[in-house]
Amino acid sequence: MGPAAQIIQALNWRRRRQQRLARALRKRRELALLVNRTEAIRPRDILLFCTLRNEAARLPYFLRHYRALGVRHFLIVDNASTDGSREMLAEQPDVSLWHTQASYREARFGMDWLQGLLMKYGHGHWCVTVDADELLIYPHHLTRPLPALTDWLEAEGESVFGALMLDLYPKGPITAQRYTPGQDPSEVLTHYDTGNYTITRKPDTQALWIQGGPRSRAFFADTPQRGPTLTKIPLVKWHWRYLYLNSTHTLLPRHLNRIYDDAGGEKLSGVLLHSKFLPEVSAKSAEEKHRHEHFGAPKDFAPYYDALVAGPDLWAPHSTLYRGWQQLEAEGLMSRGGWG
């Protein structure tokens, strides 16, 4: 690509970012503030942003996990929960809570709402942006909390931290399992796929694109290109001009997507333990198939929802028992880079 084409491309990306930021400001009007504790936020606090719906079972462990990592304030959008999630969150002393009945899909799957909050509250902070079924771990996370990680990243001149979303699943049919609220999901979701992943680099966004895992092999074996994207950038030193372009998979400006080492080495990276396949996934899938609030073309994913409603057994002979971050690092699913 010649210099002139590069300039035009950069201007197009800039225009796209500005349009999405303006859209997020408009979409912020869809949010009703229920509990505002943002006055407690201090300049160096690590913040967490999340949109959720009906996650009362996951929330006790989710909050405990991220508090232990060093998150000091949670900014959460509740999208029409009916299971007590909103009431539970309103009682938490470190949570600021918004509510909306608006369409999750029409808000770019919740990202417009979070984008507006990131612009207002996240500027200058290290911000974790995750779903309620994603638990961030990284090398030494049990002994080195997020402030230690972000201090190291800043010393290295880094402002982003990448992670692989790793689907955990049980041995046996999903609906045959039992989960107690507050329990570590990995005690029920005991296994994962080690090696059936593909990785490419997107030339337009400069982002890594990883696909594979149990969802791809179980539900998209014939159309792997439609399998879930597993690359995420969940931790960012936020600036109000930044934009999540596609969920937390890609960012603008595009240089933020370089969570890899161009020189052939390895950058520090983590894993998002994905607890989607708790027993409740069958009932939730039946509801979401009817709501049409997920995926760009919901009807195309009807067979996927039907398979989840049936309570499949995702375990296979090559499934690996989850034992902790050291094992994931040894298998190349995360890297400590130069971080000890």
pLDDT tens per residue, range 56-81:
999 999 999 999 999 999 999 999 99
Does pLDDT of 332 surpass 90? yes
Does pLDDT of 294 surpass 70? no
Split at pLDDT 50, 70, 90, the class of 295 is low
First to last CA, the chain: 40
pLDDT of residue 179: 97
Q: Domains in the chain, please, with CATH?
A: 3-330 (3.90.550)
DSSP-based helix, strand, coil % in the chain, nearest 5: 35, 25, 40
Q: Of 218, 162, 160, which is closest to residue 335 (Cα–Cα)?
A: 162
pLDDT tens per residue, range 209-236:
999 999 999 888 888 888 899 999 999 9
Split at pLDDT 50, 70, 90, the class of 301 is low
Does pLDDT of 296 surpass 60? no
pLDDT of residue 298: 57
Split at pLDDT 50, 70, 90, the class of 6 is confident
Q: Of 210, 214, 185, 227, which is closest to residue 269 (Cα–Cα)?
A: 210
Contacts of 27 (CB under 8 A, 6+ apart): 102, 107, 112, 113, 115, 116
User: For residue 205, which amino acid is it?
Assistant: T
Does pLDDT of 100 surpass 60? yes
- Asked if 25 contacts 60 with a C-beta cutoff of 8 angstroms, the reply is no
Task: Confirm whether pTM is higher than 0.85.
Answer: yes
- Asked if 218 contacts 307 with a C-beta cutoff of 8 angstroms, the reply is yes
Does pLDDT of 202 surpass 60? yes
- Residue 24, sorted as left (phi over 0), alpha (psi -120 to 50) or beta, turns out to be alpha
Per-residue pLDDT, averaged over 76-104, amounts to: 97
Axis crossing angle, helix 302-309 with helix 281-291, rounded to the nearest 10: 150
pLDDT of residue 311: 81
What's phi and psi for 247, nearest 5 deg?
A: 50, -140
How far does Cα 261 stand from its chain's mean position? Answer: 22
Residue predicted with more confidence, 263 or 70: 70
Token look-up 């979401």 returns 288
pLDDT of residue 28: 93
**Helix, coil or strand: residue 85:** helix
pLDDT of residue 236: 98
How far CA 128 is from CA of 46, 103, 144, in Å, comes to 8, 23, 16
Does pLDDT of 264 surpass 90? no
